[in-house]
């Protein structure tokens, strides 16, 4: 069978936003591939199919003039393939190794987390997205680049605009224009600090990239474009991992009790969160040339959305995928950070921040639970997390 553009299921953007998992299950029970006329793209829901596409950067590429991420940020490590992709990514990769992240960011992340919690814990309740989860990654990434923490409000504003632009499948011009304006403001900020570390080098990531002496070093415009992805990719993932893990634990009291008794289970809780409620639900690819995958044939120019959240719920890989289970032995097979050449550069930093956050929150917020007055509403099929997470604890 060759897939044409006749929908095999009735798939709507609203249903995917509200709860994509019934659609994912239905796709997995059929061909694992479905055309969504409303979005003008294919959805791929099977683990095996998603894995194959993400590993194939010759036939499925990230950056074309039609891609939202290219339109928003231009050419950078997530919109290039091959030698150019490696040139961009290699300049940042060393700073994100596990050892370098621990050495450079562990104390800074701890300090940022404590600073935020100091202003929260005494009240006995808070909306954690605004008060903590949305702020910790901004402060941490500013620390990584050695940019003053006072820039946090700007970064948060810009990020919100970029998040809207990257899910702007309706191509609303006001969303696109606002994001382009924010990109210009962000580049101006980075350019200011490029000049600073060029004049007085330090040990920051930005200084390492700016003062690179290799023949194919990045120019300032390339540094700005790639810094935008490092900055804002780090914000979205960490915010959602923290919120989703808190939500998972608070809706699974047995798991919360186990983690409280044994904090060494926190990394496992983070990994199961990345599988069970994947913060980044999809990885978009553009078909470079006609390609057949099993029974599916994609045409050059087609948009294929690899649904990471669906792959992480594929029953052929994960037993009882709808269950949140700390004891899951193959949890590290999850695709929460994608796979292949575009595997998330900041995964080690994201894990460090999330583990630090959950550990600190559980230490300082006894009897933590969801607020009965403000039910959590988990939404999104591109980026999925509670729009707000109201928690209460004993003071």
Q: Which residue has the higher pLDDT, 218 or 7?
A: 218
pLDDT of 131 > 90? The answer is: yes
Q: Among 283, 281, 279, 282, which Cα is nearest to 242's?
A: 279
Res. 7 pLDDT band, cuts 50 70 90: low
pLDDT single digits (tens) 16-50: 999 999 999 999 998 899 888 888 889 999 999 99
The C-alpha angle 321, 233, 192, rounded to 5 degrees, equals 170
Q: How far apart are CA 20 and CA 294, in angstroms?
A: 24
Percent of the residues in the chain that have a pLDDT greater than 90, as a whole number: 81
pLDDT of 6 > 60? The answer is: no
Least confident segment among 56-65, 101-110, 258-267, 372-381: 56-65
Q: In terms of DSSP bridges, do strands 378-379 and 125-127 run parallel, antiparallel, or are they unpaired?
A: unpaired
Res. 2 pLDDT band, cuts 50 70 90: very low
Mean of the pLDDT values across residues 305-329?
97
Res. 217 pLDDT band, cuts 50 70 90: very high
Please spell the DSSP secondary structure of 218-261, one letter per residue.
--HHHHHHHHHHHHHHHHHHHHHHHHHHHHHHHT-HHHHHHHHH
Q: In terms of DSSP bridges, do strands 303-307 and 41-44 run parallel, antiparallel, or are they unpaired?
A: parallel
Three-state DSSP class for residue 125: strand
pLDDT of 116 > 90? The answer is: yes
Res. 1 pLDDT band, cuts 50 70 90: very low
- 89: Cα within 13 Å, side-chain hemisphere: 17
pLDDT of 226 > 50? The answer is: yes
Check: CB of residue 51 under 8 Å from CB of residue 311: yes
Mean pLDDT across the chain, nearest whole number? 93
H helices of the chain, where? 13-18, 21-29, 47-55, 68-73, 82-93, 98-118, 128, 136-144, 152-166, 173-199, 205-210, 220-250, 253-261, 266-276, 308-311, 347-364
pLDDT single digits (tens) 50-64: 999 999 999 999 877
In terms of Cβ atoms closer than 10 Å to its own Cβ (0-12, 13-18, 19+), residue 341 is middle
Q: How far apart are CA 153 and CA 141, in angstroms?
A: 13
Instruction: Indicate the pTM of the whole model.
Output: 0.92
pLDDT single digits (tens) 66-82: 788 899 999 999 999 99
Token pair of 43 as six digits: 């959805």
Please spell the DSSP secondary structure of 295-322, one letter per residue.
TEEE-TT-EEEEEHHHHTT-TTTSSSTT
């Amino acid at each position: 069978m060759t897939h044409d553009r006749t929908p095999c299921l009735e798939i709507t953007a609203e249903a995917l936003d509200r709860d994509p998992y019934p659609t994912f299950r239905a796709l997995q029970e059929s061909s694992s591939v479905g055309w969504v006329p409303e979005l003008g793209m294919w959805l791929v829901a099977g683990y095996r199919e998603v894995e194959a596409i993400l590993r194939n950067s010759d036939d499925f590429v990230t950056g074309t003039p039609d891609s939202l991420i290219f339109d928003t940020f231009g050419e950078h490590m997530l919109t290039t393939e091959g030698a150019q992709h490696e040139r961009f990514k290699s300049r940042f990769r060393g700073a994100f190794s596990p050892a370098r992240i621990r050495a450079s960011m562990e104390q800074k992340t701890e300090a940022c987390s404590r600073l935020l919690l100091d202003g929260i814990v005494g009240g006995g309740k808070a909306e954690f997205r605004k008060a903590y989860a949305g702020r910790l990654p901004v402060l941490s990434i500013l620390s990584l680049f050695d940019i003053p923490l006072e820039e946090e409000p700007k970064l948060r504003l810009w990020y919100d605009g970029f998040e809207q632009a990257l899910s702007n499948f309706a191509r609303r011009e006001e969303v696109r224009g606002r994001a382009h304006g924010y990109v210009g403001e962000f580049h101006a900020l980075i350019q200011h600090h490029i000049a600073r570390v060029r004049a007085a080098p330090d040990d920051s990531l930005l200084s390492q990239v700016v003062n690179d002496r290799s023949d194919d070093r990045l120019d300032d415009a390339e540094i700005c474009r790639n810094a935008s992805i490092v900055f804002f990719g780090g914000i979205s993932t960490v915010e959602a991992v923290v919120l989703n893990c808190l939500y998972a634990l608070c809706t699974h009291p047995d798991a919360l009790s186990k983690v409280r008794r044994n904090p060494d289970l926190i990394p496992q809780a983070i990994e199961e969160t990345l599988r069970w409620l994947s913060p980044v639900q999809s990885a978009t690819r553009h078909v470079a040339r006609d390609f057949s995958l099993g029974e599916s044939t994609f045409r050059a120019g087609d948009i294929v959305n690899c649904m990471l959240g669906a792959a992480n719920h594929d029953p052929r890989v994960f037993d009882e995928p709808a269950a949140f289970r700390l004891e899951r032995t193959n949890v590290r097979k999850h695709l929460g950070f994608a796979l292949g050449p575009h595997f998330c550069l900041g995964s080690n930093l994201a894990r460090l921040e999330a583990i630090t956050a959950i550990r600190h929150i559980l230490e300082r917020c006894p009897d933590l639970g969801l607020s009965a007055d403000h039910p959590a509403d988990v939404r999104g099929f591109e980026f999925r997390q509670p729009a707000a997470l109201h928690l209460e604890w004993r003071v």
